[in-house]
Structure 1
Amino acid sequence: MDLPRIAVDAMGGDDGVRVMVEGAALARRRHEGFKFLLVGDQKRIESALESHPGMREASEILHCDDVIAGDEQPSKAIRRAKTTSMGLTVNAVKEGAAGAAVSAGNTGALMAMSKLALRTMPGIDRPALAALMPTLEPHDVVMLDLGANTEANARNLVQFAVMGAAYSRIVNGFERPTVRLLNIGTEQIKGTDALRDAAAMLQAASSKEEGGLALDFAGFVESDKINRGETHVVVTDGFSGNIALKAIEGSARFVTDLLKQAFTSSIRSKIGFLVSRPATELLRHHLDPNNHNGAVFLGLNGVVVKSHGSATAAGVANAVAVTASLLKNKLTERIANDLAELGEGALRDNGKSAPAATPSCEAAE
């Protein structure tokens, strides 16, 4: 697979250069066509590359030893966009030196820098942060927005739905993904004006016999059904999405910790653990965030992927693989085509819904 090279912020994440380079190398062992622009301290990157000789010929190094701190405010970080590894990684996409960017650094700073450098696509008012979450079915569910915008009006939610469906078609292979809006109930009368207006727009746009959106809008979904696998894309504002995501992740950690306590509480429990180990290992693998790593900023004129700061090399490799898939399948072009199918008239909400989306950059780690 011959793709444009991927710019990697080698300084981002909890473990920095070692894990980022190792993850990129692991991804390349699986797909030899991957090429990289590694941005960060040259000596440290070269040292890390010594353990992965196959990576050297596929990589170029852009030296930079200035790093955005994990707790740095986006408003301050963005002033150093031209001197930091994160800023130079995103700028490589803007300048055409790379086809996409990957960083495990400060999420808010990455969002702010990406939006400033790449701008939003025509027809998109606000970019959204989308991620994959595990379900009971073989496929993951795409969920957005997860923290880029604290508020969203009906127009924004429809745009999120279009972007999420395009993303789902690429990563899950669905021709017409099932899309639902996150709400406090499934009845049509439930929720805010923005939700009800967005539902009406999506219903009309997806039910057209000709020229309709390549998605099936199926109404509302409650948060306890997100991981059932019945929905391919869940759409919400960044405030609700961030809370839902962290509640789901916390519940997953609670279950695994509870099982660990139960299996180590007595000799009989330890024997039971040995008997049930294949099942518990399957559960652990399914809930491991490294296997779903790689959140995407949708709606920009370029591909930017956010890796978990605590991701292992396997997690970084997964984020790189997601990035390559989005490049190969031309994500931005798909979104642009879907927006053209939708048409500007379908996005009129008559001013009845919530105020314009408020950017927050308080995205989940």
Structure 2
Amino acid sequence: MSLPRIAIDAMGGDEGVRTMIEGAALARRRHDRFKFLLVGDGTRIKAALETHPGMSGASEILHCDDVVAGDELPSRALRRAKTTSMGLAVDAVKRGEAGAAVSAGNTGALMAMSKLALRTMPGLDRPALAALLPTLGDNDVVMLDLGANRECDARNLVQFAVMGAAYSRIVTGRERPRVRLLNIGTEENKGTEDIQAAYDQLRAADNLAMNFEGYTEADKINRGECDVVVCDGFSGNIALKAIEGAARFVTDLLRQAFTSSIRSKVGFLVSRPATELLKHHLDPNNHNGAVFLGLNGVVVKSHGSANAKGVANAVEVAARLLEDDITNRIANDLGKIDTQGFNGK
């Protein structure tokens, strides 16, 4: 099956061109139908392509000199959307020259440029940033919003639930994903008025492709007990950073423990299969690729510190969303909200 090509912001991320091209090449070795529009410094891109000869025939280079800085204000970056590698990658999706865009650059700038170029889908108030997180169960969990919207009302949360369920159906294969709202407790009377209103509306829904199961607390996100966790962007970003920090803490603690003495080093050799499994689950590169859901086009945010394997995973996320037509899936499900009469009050 042929796919629309994927626009890669080759200048984004901590490692820059080399890692972005290496990641795209790795993705293409896994799936030889992938084709790319590589946006950025043409000279540096060509140099990186020399070590990946299989990429040349599958790639076109769009040269530009301007790059969005990692600490640049989104409002300032937005004024240069027509000249930066990030902005041109997103604009390629708008013009139909690419099916999706992938960038490891400034998250706020990428969201601002994507919203301006692609616009929010009809019937949707706000897009949301969603990502897959590992769990102890058989499924990864979709979590949204992770920082695109600091404050959300009940209608926003209901729409996020619909979008998250559509995404989860693609990645888990479940016809009715298990959806929960993030809260400070599982009792019905817990949480803000907006969270409680969203709870009531989702519980009353009988035509949405999901099983709404109420609330979940932050310490249950990675247990595998649900498929979608819904929250406002402020809470979601804090929860995500706490999970990432805990993973790094465990990894560093194990490293210190296993190198503290000769006996510990011997113990590490004995337990190495278990520690390698743990390392795999805690490695963020294995779950790299956050998605801006709710736009008229596919945009995937790779972590800035992602290695080539992480970039390849982000590219594969973009391809999978194109294959499964995530935009139309969300549009169809949003139509069911309108028939339910939700107003967010």
TM-score with structure 1 length normalisation?
A: 0.93
Does the CA-based 8 Å contact 2:169-2:177 persist in structure 1? yes
TM-superposed deviation, 1:341: 1.8
Partner of 2:336: 341
Partner of 2:266: 271
TM-superposed deviation, 1:85: 0.2
Measured against aligned partners, the alpha-carbon deviations of 1:138-195 in whole angstroms (never above 9, x if no partner) come to 3210000000000000000000000000001111211110000000000001111101
1:319 pairs with one of 307, 314, 319: 314
Question: Which residues in structure 2 correspond to 1:44-63 (within 5 Å)?
Answer: 44-63=44-63
What is the CA–CA distance in structure 2 between the aligned matches of 1:134 and 1:45, rounded to whole Å?
Answer: 33
TM-superposed deviation, 1:83: 0.4
Partner of 1:127: 127
SS state of the match for residue 259, structure 1? helix
Q: Are 1:24 and 2:19 matched, yes or no?
A: no
1:293 pairs with one of 282, 288, 293: 288
1:310 pairs with one of 285, 295, 305: 305
TM-superposed deviation, 1:343: 1.7
Measured against aligned partners, the alpha-carbon deviations of 1:216-261 in whole angstroms (never above 9, x if no partner) come to 0000000000000001000000000000000011011111111111
What is the CA–CA distance in structure 2 between the aligned matches of 1:72 and 1:231, rounded to whole Å?
Answer: 36
Does the CA-based 8 Å contact 2:156-2:344 persist in structure 1? no
1:236 pairs with one of 225, 228, 231: 231
What is the CA–CA distance in structure 2 between the aligned matches of 1:226 and 1:199, rounded to whole Å?
Answer: 18
SS state of the match for residue 33, structure 1? coil
Does the CA-based 8 Å contact 1:143-1:234 persist in structure 2? yes
> Counterpart of 1:267 in structure 2: which amino acid?
I
1:283 pairs with one of 268, 278, 283: 278
Measured against aligned partners, the alpha-carbon deviations of 1:186-216 in whole angstroms (never above 9, x if no partner) come to 00011111011101111111xx2xxx11100
SS state of the match for residue 80, structure 1? coil
TM-superposed deviation, 1:349: 2.9
What is the CA–CA distance in structure 2 between the aligned matches of 1:128 and 1:197, rounded to whole Å?
Answer: 19
> Counterpart of 2:36 in structure 1: which amino acid?
F
Partner of 1:203: 203
Does the CA-based 8 Å contact 2:188-2:196 persist in structure 1? yes
SS state of the match for residue 151, structure 1? coil
Q: Which runs of 5+ in 1 are unaligned?
A: 351-365
SS state of the match for residue 89, structure 2? helix
Does the CA-based 8 Å contact 1:197-1:349 persist in structure 2? yes
TM-superposed deviation, 1:345: 4.7
> Counterpart of 2:155 in structure 1: which amino acid?
R
What is the CA–CA distance in structure 1 between the aligned matches of 2:152 and 2:171, rounded to whole Å?
Answer: 25
Does the CA-based 8 Å contact 1:201-1:346 persist in structure 2? no
What is the CA–CA distance in structure 2 between the aligned matches of 1:6 and 1:170, rounded to whole Å?
Answer: 19
What is the CA–CA distance in structure 2 between the aligned matches of 1:80 and 1:339, rounded to whole Å?
Answer: 33
Does the CA-based 8 Å contact 1:21-1:45 persist in structure 2? yes
What is the CA–CA distance in structure 2 between the aligned matches of 1:172 and 1:102, rounded to whole Å?
Answer: 22
What is the CA–CA distance in structure 2 between the aligned matches of 1:234 and 1:35, rounded to whole Å?
Answer: 33
SS state of the match for residue 150, structure 1? coil
What is the CA–CA distance in structure 1 between the aligned matches of 2:80 and 2:88, rounded to whole Å?
Answer: 10
What is the CA–CA distance in structure 2 between the aligned matches of 1:324 and 1:148, rounded to whole Å?
Answer: 22
> Counterpart of 2:285 in structure 1: which amino acid?
N
SS state of the match for residue 91, structure 2? helix
Measured against aligned partners, the alpha-carbon deviations of 1:14-62 in whole angstroms (never above 9, x if no partner) come to 1111111110011011111101000011111111111111111111110
> Counterpart of 1:292 in structure 2: which amino acid?
H
TM-score with structure 2 length normalisation?
A: 0.99
What is the CA–CA distance in structure 2 between the aligned matches of 1:319 and 1:78, rounded to whole Å?
Answer: 23
Q: CA RMSD in A?
A: 0.8
What is the CA–CA distance in structure 2 between the aligned matches of 1:59 and 1:135, rounded to whole Å?
Answer: 36
Question: Which residues in structure 2 correspond to 1:210-229 (within 5 Å)?
Answer: 212-229=207-224
> Counterpart of 2:115 in structure 1: which amino acid?
K
Partner of 2:40: 40
TM-superposed deviation, 1:342: 2.2
> Counterpart of 1:294 in structure 2: which amino acid?
G
What is the CA–CA distance in structure 2 between the aligned matches of 1:173 and 1:53, rounded to whole Å?
Answer: 35
Partner of 1:332: 327
Deviates more, 1:338-347 or 1:90-99: 338-347
TM-superposed deviation, 1:344: 5.3
What is the CA–CA distance in structure 2 between the aligned matches of 1:104 and 1:79, rounded to whole Å?
Answer: 19
Does the CA-based 8 Å contact 1:36-1:58 persist in structure 2? yes
SS state of the match for residue 269, structure 1? helix
Q: Which runs of 4+ in 1 moved over 3 A?
A: none
SS state of the match for residue 156, structure 2? helix
Partner of 1:72: 72
